[in-house]
Structure 1
């Protein structure tokens, strides 16, 4: 009998701090097959459930500025700044066609090159 392949799981981060940007899933909506079950949110506070002792989080849903209380961290994942800025960091600056760049990279370049288009900002 063939052995079942092992699936890899993403390790969960067990603690978040105020201001962290996370992806979270409304697990009930997800398992019921309802749309709109995954959101981006900002951590507002952490608190411990009185009965279970589990740390839960209150979030602000960024797309609608809606408060979400008591979110289980098992259904949250961090959204690191490095991932959000990857398109800008890897933009093909030598490409003559700005269509090859993502809209975020183009917006950043336009903002920084608006006054003087002959120089780029200093590299960090």
Structure 2
């Protein structure tokens, strides 16, 4: 009897400085510890001297904590389109702005202020 083995392959991703990524600390994850997944911004890419593998340095967005030597196998890009989906799908025809998310309302106010030539208020 022949056994077929399936293997999932994902394309090798490269990240650039400023990319927002999701990172999972595999060791903490497999040990069942909390705090194993966080969102970070790529600060730098570098090549490990012994293996030649490209690793990344990240800064956690929730605590400004620096993480060094992150393996890209445990990182996933967080596309801007996903972060802005609520703005892109805001129900602009709704008379009630409560139906919009706060991000959509903020973006709409900024656009209206720019169109009117008024300065955009800073939060």
Whole-angstrom CA distance in 1 between matches of 2:114 and 2:17: 36
TM-score (norm 1): 0.78
Whole-angstrom CA distance in 1 between matches of 2:9 and 2:20: 17
Instruction: Count residues in correspondence.
Output: 113
Q: Which residue of 1 aligns with 2:105?
A: 106
Whole-angstrom CA distance in 2 between matches of 1:54 and 1:115: 46
Mark the runs of 5 or more structure 2 residues left unpaired by the alignment: 1-5, 117-123
TM-score (norm 2): 0.78
* CA RMSD, 1 decimal: 2.6
Q: Which residue of 2 aligns with 1:31?
A: 30
Q: Deviations over 1:5-48 (max 9, x none)?
A: x79x6835421111111111111111111111111111111111
SS of aligned partner of 1:68:
strand
Q: Deviations over 1:36-75 (max 9, x none)?
A: 1111111111111111111110111111111100000000
* 8 Å CA contact 1:44, 1:57 repeated in 2: yes
